[in-house]
Amino acid sequence: MHNVTFALDSAWRVLLTCLILGAGLPILFAAGIRALAWSSGGEPTVTETGVAVPAPRPAGKVLAYACFTVVVLAVLLGITFIVASGFGKAITFDHVIPTLIDK
């Protein structure tokens, strides 16, 4: 039975971490895409005088790229994690800013 206990103990940790990273990051990415679409001001409309291009909203672009930056940084952290653990290092978040330490 000890294996079942160990497995369930690991499983809920994995699930929790992954809901934050594995679902949270793509959700943030999706929010960025929505902001990018919003920044364009919507679809052009055809009027009597020609095609009306809506005014762009620069705030949307800023928001979008802020989202993408967070996602990219998180992915880079993920890659650092893979590389580091291969070389016997671990990443600690003790000092808020991720730092490499010996395992």
Partner 1 sequence: MAGRSGSHDLLVSHEFFILVLVVVTALGFDFTNGFHDTANAMATSIATKALKPRTAVALAGILNLVGAFLSVEVALTVTNAVVKIQDKTGAPKAELLSDGGGALLLIVLAGLVGGIIWNLFTWLLGLPSSSSHALFGGLIGATVAGLGWAGVNWNGDGSKLDGVVGKVLLPALLSPVIAGVVAAFGTWVIYRITLGVAQRFTDQGFRWGQIGSASLVSLAHGTNDAQKTMGVITLALIAAGDWTDTGAVPLWVKVACALAIALGTYVGGWRIIRTLGKGIVEITPQQGMAAQSASAAVILASSHLGFALSTTHVATGSIVGAGIGQPRAVVRWKVAGRMIGAWLITVPAAGVVGALMWWLGHLVGGAGGALLIFVVLLAASAAMYLHSRRRPVSEHNVNEDWEPVAPVSVSG
Please report, as ranges, the residues that interact with partner 1 according to CB under 8 A. 2-4, 6-8, 10-11, 13-15, 17-19, 21-23, 25-27, 29-34, 36-37, 40, 43, 71, 75, 78-79, 81-83, 85-88
- Evaluated on CA atoms 82, 23, 17, 100, the torsion sign reads positive
CA–CA dist 75, 92 (Å, integer): 16
Shortest distance in whole angstroms from residue 1 CB to partner 1: 9
Shortest distance in whole angstroms from residue 76 CB to partner 1: 10
Shortest distance in whole angstroms from residue 48 CB to partner 1: 24
| Contacts of residue 63, Cβ cutoff 8 Å, sequence gap at least 6 | 32, 35, 39
In the complex with partner 1, which residue's Cβ is closer, 2 or 48?
2
Cβ proximity of 48 and 10 under 8 Å:
no
